Structure 1
Amino acid sequence: MSAAKTSRVHLTAAATGTLPRALLLAICIIYGLAGLFGRDPWKNEDAAGFGVMWQLATGGTQDWLMPNIVGRPYGEDGPLVFWVGALMIRLFGGWLGAPDASRIATALFYFGTCSLIWYATYLLGRRAEVQPFAYVFGGQPNARDYGRTLADGALLIFLACVGLAMRGHETTPQVGQVCFVAMSLYGMVRSLDKPIQGGIWLGVGLGALTLSSGPVIPLVLLASVIICGLACKPLPLPRVLLASVPLALALVAAWMAAAYFGATDHNDAVTFIREWSRYDRRTYGAPNAAALNFIARNLLLFTWPVWPIACWAWLSWSGMRRAPHVALPLAMLLPPLLLLFLLRAPGDVQFILLLPPMAVLAAFGLPTLTRAAINAIDWFALLFFTIFGGFVWFMWIARTTGQPPRVAANIYRLLPGFQQDFTVSAIVYALLVTAAWILIVRWRLSRAPKQIWRPVVISAAGTTLMWVLAMTLWLPSINYGKTYRDVAQAASMALPTAYNCVQPIRMGDAQLASFAYFGHIRFGGPDDGCDVLLRHDPVDYGEPTSISHFEWRLIWEGRRPSDRDERFRMYRLVDMSRVAPPRPSLPGRRLPSHP
């Protein structure tokens, strides 16, 4: 018996029943929209991304061609995601407010990613080489039903990922990048039966990924596509490359040409594009202990539960690893995974890029999971999310009622100065999602469905419960702890009535964007002759150096109540030649002392 035949799964038609459409759509919509609206931009990447979008929405052509935050160039990522966010601010900012309007772009990328994952898995699941074993007397599922069931499983696995909750709801370039990775994967899958159409999707995906990140990730993915095409014979590599590569290059070249010819100073455009292209080279380097330690501690949790199922799929399809359903997801998965180990500074920002191809690969591990593995995944998710949901409710009750006193005191200590914000609608939503969780668990345990997506429906519903509870019961507290609104407005009130501009010192992109938006502070650069300094002092750097006849005087000092490592100081430049000297006291006369 050949390896291909031994790796086929044995399923009946009953095992490929699709998940109820209403339940699948409800999980997608509730999970995707919860936490997007009614909050401020949060430190750090969320606020920085919003700052660029807001600058584009309120700025001119130069800002759109060369994104920046109040004049500071932002060349870490390409402009595409910022363009979409700025467009949403212009369209809906007057109705929703700029922060909420910018996150409409996040929702669009999220739903686009979900759709691309579903359709890529569906097309792969219909292929002949992955179909279940055909019984002599029939009873096996047809290709269409089998593909839909696998697609439902892939989408549930994607939604069940723990790390998607926070990173998937931010205004960062990564929410667009993950969508374009999924688009590139879909293009490869589509090219198996429609090479030109698939090549166009792949070209748009790689070009858009370049315009939303940098050149390194798309180039490495392109190299991986070529290697995959050589190993996976069904992939029509020449026609795919002919349709995709010129299109991707044209998209990137169009932005570069527009930036160069549309810039007031051509040298500024050349400098911006050069720094953007070089940023990746400063981001990646030889593996270091700090980055590897961070990845080892966080990657498995971030990608749970998709990584064990994906690993199982790799093992269970050992005889068909060059087949499209294994080779194509791996082509999109291995390059970003490799780049993670080359990061100079540790961080989880790029973890999200692994989720679409990993979810597609993991879907093909669902039909081969053993009953013991299915039960282990189910009961782990059931116990974990039930305990987590109960803990969230318990802590919220303690914070709201003050009982038990010791627990409430610990919560207040973490949020000094926070004023309780009780909203009935948030409680109603939290109760509804908790009731829905109970009903889903009861349905899953009482019906004991045989469908192959059953191991992940509890996990997907559990992550939805976790995120919605956090974004309803605890949203005011989280927003208070992660926003710069109050400190930025306090700094604005301390500004002189008349000033030229404020020069930021050691302020990060998130801080600069938040102070500019919330405080309406007019920032300037070193050459603008600013007469006010705003410094971020994580440690005591001392007073700024004074110059002849001028002195920097401290006029304000503050920090966010929930962060003891940040401290902001504002100084005003005072002309000492115009300040009257203090009157000398009379000889032999002592000033009265205060008690």
Structure 2
Amino acid sequence: MKPVRLPASATNALPRWGLFALCLIYILSGLFGRDPWKTDDAAGFGVMWTMANGGLEDWLWPHIVGLPMADEGPLAYWIGALCIKLFGWLLGDALAARIATAGFFLLGSLSVWYATYQLGRRSEAQPLRLAFGGQPEPRDFGRTLADGALLIYLGCLGLLLHSHYTSAKALHVSLIALAIYATVRLFEKESVRTAAGLGAVLGLLVLTRGWVAPLALWLAIAVLAGIRSKALMAKTAIVSLATAVAISEIWLATNYYVRPFNSSPFDAWMLWNHRQISLPSIESIRYFTKNVIWFAWPAWPYAGWAVYAWRKQFRAIHIAVPLAFAMTFIVLALINGRPDEGILLPLLPPLAILAAFGLPTMKRGAINAVDWFSVMTLTTCAAFIWLGWIAKQTGWPAKLAKNAFKLAPGFKPEFSLVMFLVAVCVTIGWILLVHWRVSRRPAVLWRAVVLSSGGVILCWVLLTTLWLPWVNYGKSYSGVALQMAEALPEGGACVETNVGPAQRASFAYFGKIPFADFDDIDCDLLLLQDDNRRQDNAKRLIRADEQWRLLWEGRRASDRHERFRLYQKVKR
């Protein structure tokens, strides 16, 4: 028996303009007024910038001015480089690359919404018919569930930073959502065309972050298709796989024939893929259990409840498809030998969709408990963000101001009227939302997540308005890059270095440092990075038979441990 019994009044959908405005506020906050940060953000931008300012070889072999970066795949960087080509002259290269990031996010949001909408309209997902009528129509029920899924997706804590970075991970999570939608369409139409569409998405996933996840998804979807019919399984197994291979071969085959820089990224790319597969270890299990709780909040509690509530109908497509995707990525996370947040991101779209089907079955007491937890926790976080900003601007409370400036020595507070007004507006909007939820007590399905999602977006907007200059000061390499550029001697041919991808990209972009390329063998300049905490000695990285003269030494003011040293070879 179905666990859902609802009146039509519970399926009033959110206004389209409100949902669209919420998505725009979410993604636009944090894209403007900052530099590429010391994370995947700067590294991904470095690859895009190198492509945009290079030739065919640079587009075929992703790299950061000579540092190979073919581990994941080129698709996200191709799109970002194209945005730099088209809009860099108007917006600047860094902001132009983030147009691709915004596009990735909107693609993922639309895919989550439409996949849930299609699943919510299916007959097996509909609520029980009421004795005297008045149950919701399939279309209205699907729209309400889709609104709830999108709100849950926006509220996931793990999505916040990664959806704003210029990295392959931002595109990867959106393509996972698109793959769910393509799978839903495949089970609805069961045609060769929909199978080819699913294969196209899987092929794009291969070009984004390797073949491990697409292959695992293909196997899981083929098993689901086989449960329904052998014909559907054959279409999935043959047509989808053939299409995915054909799309991914575009890049691989071109590299084979062109051989950029007299080599190929294929070996490094395959090695990175193989490292994603190993036996489950204590480290991977510990990492997963420790981080997934906060990373997938608030999706996982609702998703877990949905699986329990629909346990007698778990073979229904609206439960089986997102559950299969979620289980696939849980397994991949546990067998990954090098756990990081990138292996948790693909969990968010299927969990958000699955969580939407838990909303109609939740008890009022559970919903109220979640609401009050969200109000108390997120309001406290927002108040602390405001208080910290006031401390930075005025010096009161003194302890908070001291701690803020201690973490960012040399930082000078800035006041932006526009940012201040935006922060005030979103805070007022949060107060009005809480008042509406408490006073009206609406019966609509998405009431259980509107405060959770709204509070997360409130805190994010406050951080990216009031605190953005402070965060940017601590995560940008622009200052130290410009200092080093001034110490660079005239006519320096190339610079060898051991710095990481984010630092290399920032120094090349801000300081125009001529790093050694694929063809550079012997350079007169050497840039070394070490860490005081590990008591690294930069001189150990210099060959004993060579003599070097120290030209410059510096670091970011916000990082007391990281050091950079520029040397010039002494000619004998």
The verdict on a shared fold, with TM-score over 0.5 as the criterion, is yes
Kept in 2, the 8 Å contact 1:556–1:569? The answer is yes
Distance 1:421 1:224 in 2: 52
Superposed counterparts of 1:17-56, under 5 Å: 17-56=12-51
Distance 1:208 1:44 in 2: 24
Query: Alignment partner for residue 487 of structure 2, among 468, 472, 494?
Result: 494
**Superposition pairs of residues 218-229 of structure 1, within 5 angstroms:** 218-229=214-225
Distance in 1 of aligned mates of 2:543 and 2:158:
48
Structure 1: 5+ residue runs without aligned partners? 1-5, 578-595
- Structure 1 residue 406: deviation in Å? 2.0
State the SS of the aligned residue for 2:562. Answer: coil
Looking at structure 2, the residues matched to 555 and 212 of structure 1 have their Cα atoms a distance apart, in angstroms, of 40
Distance 2:538 2:516 in 1: 22
Equivalent position of 2:187 in the other structure: 192
Structure 1 distance, partners of 2:205, 2:25, is 27
Contact 1:198 1:240 in 2 (8 A): no
Does residue 1:322 correspond to 2:315, yes or no?
yes
Native 8 Å contact 1:174 1:350 kept in 2: no
Contact 1:186 1:201 in 2 (8 A): no
Match of 1:586 in 2: none
Partner of 2:388: 395
Map residues 406-445 of structure 1 onto 2, 5 A cutoff: 406-445=399-438
Summarize the alignment of residues 169-248 of structure 1 with structure 2, pairs less than 5 Å apart: 169-196=164-191, 197-232=193-228, 236-248=232-244
Structure 2 portions without partners, runs of 5+: none
> Which residue number corresponds to residue 110 of structure 1?
105
Q: Which residue in the other structure is 2:268 paired with?
A: 275
Answer yes or no: is the 8 Å Cα contact 2:218–2:237 preserved in 1: no
Preserved contact between residue 231 and residue 322 of structure 1 (Cα < 8 Å): no
Q: Kindly tell me: are residues 264 and 391 of structure 1, through their superposed partners in 2, closer, same or farther at Cα, counting changes over 3 Å?
A: closer
1:531 alignment counterpart: 524
Q: Which amino acid aligns with 2:216?
A: V
Q: 1:394 Cα deviation (Å)?
A: 0.3
- Map of 1:359 onto structure 2: 352
Cα separation, 2, equivalents of 1:305 and 1:264: 45
* C-alpha distance 547-390 of structure 1, shift in aligned 2 (>3 A): closer
Partner-residue secondary structure (3-state), 2:513: coil
Q: Contact (CA 8 Å) 1:546, 1:552: kept in 2 or not?
A: no
Q: Rate the CA distance shift 1:287–1:264 in 2: closer, same or farther, 3 A.
A: closer
For residue 394 of structure 1, what is the amino acid of its counterpart?
Answer: L
Query: Cα RMSD (Å) of the superposition?
Result: 1.7
Question: Counterpart of 1:570 in 2: which secondary structure?
Answer: strand
Tell me if the contact between 1:191 and 1:235 (Cα under 8 Å) persists in the aligned partners: no
> What residue in structure 2 maps to residue 591 of structure 1?
none
- Which of 156, 164, 186 aligns to 1:161? It is 156
Larger Rg: 1
Output the CA distance in 2 between the equivalents of 1:203 and 1:283: 22
1:547 and 1:125 map into 2 onto residues whose CA distance is: 69
Alignment pair present for 1:517 and 2:547: no
- For residue 279 of structure 2, what is the aligned residue in structure 1? 286
C-alpha separation in 2, matches of 1:479 and 1:324: 45
- 1:582 is aligned to none
- SS of the equivalent of 2:187 reads coil
Relative distance call for 1:277 and 1:574 in structure 2 (3 A) is same
1:567 partnered with 2:563? yes
Q: What displacement does 1:235 show?
A: 9.5
| Residue 293 (structure 1) shift | 2.5
| C-alpha distance 396-235 of structure 1, shift in aligned 2 (>3 A) | farther
* Inter-partner Cα distance in structure 2 for 1:338 and 1:254: 29
Cα distance in 1, alignment partners of residues 206 and 447 from structure 2: 37
1:232·1:322 contact (CA, 8 Å) conserved in 2? no
Give the TM-score taking structure 1 as reference length.
0.92
1:451 to 437, 444, 448: 444
Residue 98 of structure 1: aligned partner: 93
Percentage identity across aligned positions? 45
CA contact (8 A) 2:3 2:309 kept: no
Q: Which residue of 1 aligns with 2:362?
A: 369
Mean CA deviation greater in 129-138 or 277-286 = 277-286
